[in-house]
Chain A
Amino acid sequence: MTTTRSAAKTVHAPAFTNGDDIHIPLFTLLKPDGKPYAGGATISLDEEKARRVYRAMLYTRILDERMMAAQRQGRLSFYMQCTGEEAAVIGSTAALKDDDMILAQYREQGALAYRGFTTDEFMDQLFGNERDPAHGRQMPIHYGSRALHYQTISSPLATQIPQAVGYAYGQKLAGTGNCTLTIFGEGAASEGDFHAALNMAAVHKVPVIFLCRNNGYAISTPVAEQFAGDGVAARAFGYRMQSIRVDGNDILAVFEATREARRLAVEHNEPVLIEAMTYRLAAHSSSDDPSGYRSKKEEEAWRKKDPLARMQRWLLDRGWWNEEEERELTETLRREVLETMKKAEKRRPPALGTLVSDVYAETPPLLAEQLRELEAHIQRHPDAYPKSAPWLNEEGGSAREESRA
């Protein structure tokens, strides 16, 4: 016996449906010139939070510019910018409680900036030095922070989405009133993990928010070659899930949509899918050159919709920000990023023993033996291993990590 909701109604001629009759509007509150639309929903972003959001957006923009330049100078192996998508990332994060969990993809450094990740923390990860909590094991931009409720980034796409559902299910059982936000691109939403996640969230009524940054491209692949349906938002219906499409470059729309999504998730255990329509203004990564697949004209058109400029105009109009503050903060942040970078790139690499710690809670004997063999090998050929040889015999070097392991 079928339990399909609408199967009670029968027809007696084949009647197909492809969903084209469902229309998903775009929720937007701020015009591109920073003026609110007349008759829009009440804006609940207060001055203090608005300033915090804007500072995080500006910080992210400055960090990205500086670090991409550093990559071009050969000081950093790799980088990815959030540029153009700051509102989608930071606006959604700001609508959460600071102890709600975030499982992001890799372009969401703005969320960390909003929550107070320090410039030192950014730099130590980017340079994979001895102060990086993950010991330089991952590529740059793979941040994580237990204190800031932000799971460490993993490069494979969409793997975090079903994990977010599981995390949120645990939160529901724990009864803390928290939810989980997972952020991903429209390309990642093609992975099987995305579909599995949506279905499980809907079936198990999990307090999770799925935020898709639909930024137009998965590396070079445009959305027209990514899906034939009505974007990503429409997929929620197949799983009977709440869904909304927002202007991702409109900080207010993203904030208000996520705020309401959080209420549905936490108070009603209704998972929500948010599709934020935005644009990746920068290259996919420092390894990419977008001139091979999109036009300057298209980029320029989106540059005019810059979410930072839009929010800045709104703040200025309200008298919550002024140009003097903008100038000062920009200069302060640029200096802070540059000076912190200079310190971080000079710090020592992680101790040799960090190669083998954390593979298991307790390092197995064979692996401990491999470390000892490696140490002996490096001592035979110290010149070939400038990153590790100088510290090998030093107190607090590899021996420390090995004993920890």
Chain B
Amino acid sequence: MSRMNLLQAVNNALDTAMAADERVLCFGEDVGVFGGVFRATSHLQEKYGRERCFNTPLVEQGIVGFANGLAAQGSTPVAEIQFADYIYPAFDQIVNETAKFRYRSGNLFDVGGLTIRAPYGGGIAGGHYHSQSPEAYFAHTPGLTVVIPRNPHQAKGLLLASIRSPDPVIFFEPKRLYRASVGEVPDEDYELPLRQAEVVKEGNDITLLAWGAQMEVIEQAAEMAEQEGISCELIDLRTIVPWDIATVTDSVLKTGRLVVSHEAPLTGGFAAEIAATVQSRCFLYLESPVERVTGLDTPFPLTLEKEYLPGPLKVFDAIHRSMNF
């Protein structure tokens, strides 16, 4: 075990993957000598050479198109998009190509080796273009797997599983936690399961569901609620799609109440999908409507970032609404 932050855990996972399999390549803007603007790819070029870890020209559609081709050829590309906010030039390559490669060819060809990493989320005074949580755009595209870790241990295990998954994965990293989240991480090679949510704390009165950096927020809200004697069950969805319906509905069948929280705007956010599924599968067991605590239906602001964000107090208020319905 080593104590490391989330960024070091990502770096460690990439190092582990590259050491274990020479087909694994890491590339993107500034990932070479510099090791990435956040340093997630530090020393990888030094260790594995310029052919396996390199800077690309500044063109996201090119990066993902190139990565699609590499994956089709049988390599295992791990492409970095510098910020999730800058993934959109690659949207066509991801939505029309990555997601449909296997389906459209009847499995003659696939890009299962592909992993796209991108830092996402707010709370760092990043304004419109360094704060977005675009998971719902990709969740709406069958064929993609979207994974988001909440801490260093999860980051390493889930990233290794993503790299080795037979399907292409978009791996969003909570950049607010890059240095803020520190924990024990096994030194060895390990994988954590994709498509499986995790009950991180058991409780009886209400289920709180989130992913990534928002887990820390619902944990804080749960602590406030517990002081009032409300027992919260906390679930980290981990894989956004394909999502683990059973773990969520099992919990809601027990507690009868659900609060889902994400930073992205309310309308069309992934909480909507979860709420719809839960109400159809747990209808007679629900004590109150499913609460969504999310960002506002606006672009991500700067000065009033705290007002925009679904912080612990907003989740806490939602717990009250649910309990007092």
0 or 1 for each of A247-264: is its CB under 8 Å from B? (1 = yes): 000000000000000000
Interface: B231 (CB within 8 A)? no
Stretch among A237-245, A307-315, A374-382 lining the B interface: A374-382
CA distance A287 to B82 in the complex (A): 14
Q: Decide: A155 and B129 in contact? CB cutoff 8 A.
A: yes
Interface: B246 (CB within 8 A)? no
Using A287-B37, A349-B303 as known contacts, say yes or no to A356 and B57 having CB atoms under 8 A apart: no
A373 to chain B, nearest CB (A): 9
Interface: B3 (CB within 8 A)? no
Q: Decide: B34 and A293 in contact? CB cutoff 8 A.
A: yes
Interface: B1 (CB within 8 A)? no
Among A225, A352, A380, A387, the most chain B Cβ lie within 10 Å of the Cβ of: A225
CA distance A128 to B3 in the complex (A): 38
0 or 1 for each of B280-318: is its CB under 8 Å from A? (1 = yes): 000000000000000011110111101110010110010
Using A191-B89, A367-B298, A370-B296 as known contacts, say yes or no to A218 and B58 having CB atoms under 8 A apart: yes
A370 to chain B, nearest CB (A): 5
Q: Decide: A226 and B303 in contact? CB cutoff 8 A.
A: no
Interface size class of B (residues with CB under 8 A): 35 or more
Q: Decide: B298 and A356 in contact? CB cutoff 8 A.
A: yes
Q: Decide: B58 and A188 in contact? CB cutoff 8 A.
A: yes
Interface: A44 (CB within 8 A)? no
Q: Decide: A156 and B34 in contact? CB cutoff 8 A.
A: no
Q: Decide: B127 and A355 in contact? CB cutoff 8 A.
A: no
Residue of A nearest to B35 (CB): A292
A157 contacts across to B, CB distance below 8 A: 58, 86
CA distance A192 to B89 in the complex (A): 8
B313 contacts across to A, CB distance below 8 A: 377, 381, 384
Using A287-B37, A378-B307, A387-B306 as known contacts, say yes or no to A136 and B301 having CB atoms under 8 A apart: yes
Q: Decide: B299 and A136 in contact? CB cutoff 8 A.
A: no
Q: Decide: A137 and B299 in contact? CB cutoff 8 A.
A: yes
CA distance A188 to B307 in the complex (A): 33
Q: Decide: A387 and B303 in contact? CB cutoff 8 A.
A: yes
Q: Decide: A128 and B317 in contact? CB cutoff 8 A.
A: no
Q: Decide: A138 and B317 in contact? CB cutoff 8 A.
A: no
Interface size on A, residues (CB 8 A): 52
Interface: B69 (CB within 8 A)? no
Interface: B59 (CB within 8 A)? yes
CA distance A157 to B30 in the complex (A): 15
Q: Decide: B298 and A355 in contact? CB cutoff 8 A.
A: yes
Which residues of B (27-47) have their CB < 8 Å from a CB of A? 29-30, 32-35, 37
Q: Decide: B298 and A359 in contact? CB cutoff 8 A.
A: yes
A354 contacts across to B, CB distance below 8 A: 304
Interface: B165 (CB within 8 A)? no
Among A129, A188, A220, the most chain B Cβ lie within 10 Å of the Cβ of: A220
B99 to chain A, nearest CB (A): 20
Q: Please tell me which one of the listed residues B29, B34, B127, B299 contacts residue A292 in the complex, with CB atoms under 8 A apart.
A: B34
Interface: B266 (CB within 8 A)? yes
Using A139-B126, A352-B304 as known contacts, say yes or no to A221 and B89 having CB atoms under 8 A apart: no
CA distance A217 to B114 in the complex (A): 28
A110 contacts across to B, CB distance below 8 A: none
Q: Decide: B302 and A128 in contact? CB cutoff 8 A.
A: yes
Interface: A41 (CB within 8 A)? no
A277 to chain B, nearest CB (A): 18
Q: Decide: A136 and B89 in contact? CB cutoff 8 A.
A: no
A402 to chain B, nearest CB (A): 13
Interface: A227 (CB within 8 A)? yes
Residue of B nearest to A293 (CB): B34
Q: Decide: A155 and B306 in contact? CB cutoff 8 A.
A: no
A350 contacts across to B, CB distance below 8 A: 303-304
Interface: A187 (CB within 8 A)? yes
Q: Please tell me which one of the listed residues B33, B61, B296, B304 contacts residue A192 in the complex, with CB atoms under 8 A apart.
A: B61
B299 contacts across to A, CB distance below 8 A: 137, 359
0 or 1 for each of A139-156: is its CB under 8 Å from B? (1 = yes): 100100000000000111
Q: Decide: A219 and B34 in contact? CB cutoff 8 A.
A: yes
A374 contacts across to B, CB distance below 8 A: 296, 307
CA distance A350 to B306 in the complex (A): 13
Among B32, B54, B128, B303, the most chain A Cβ lie within 10 Å of the Cβ of: B303
CA distance A387 to B309 in the complex (A): 14
Q: Decide: B296 and A221 in contact? CB cutoff 8 A.
A: no
CA distance A387 to B314 in the complex (A): 16
Using A349-B303, A350-B304, A354-B304 as known contacts, say yes or no to A366 and B29 having CB atoms under 8 A apart: no
Q: Decide: B267 and A366 in contact? CB cutoff 8 A.
A: yes
B88 contacts across to A, CB distance below 8 A: 156
Interface: A78 (CB within 8 A)? yes
A156 contacts across to B, CB distance below 8 A: 85-86, 88-89, 129
Q: Decide: A190 and B30 in contact? CB cutoff 8 A.
A: no
B297 contacts across to A, CB distance below 8 A: 359, 364, 366-367, 370
Q: Decide: B317 and A377 in contact? CB cutoff 8 A.
A: yes
A155 contacts across to B, CB distance below 8 A: 85, 127-130
Q: Decide: B30 and A137 in contact? CB cutoff 8 A.
A: no
CA distance A374 to B299 in the complex (A): 16
A selection of 8 A-B contacts at a CB cut-off of 8 Å is A137-B302, A139-B126, A156-B86, A190-B58, A191-B59, A191-B89, A374-B307, A384-B311
Known A-B contacts: A156-B88, A191-B60. Give 7 more (CB < 8 A): A135-B303, A138-B302, A155-B130, A288-B37, A359-B299, A377-B313, A387-B306
User: Which 5 pairs of residues, A with B, have the shortest CB-CB distance?
Assistant: A136-B303, A220-B34, A155-B129, A139-B127, A190-B57
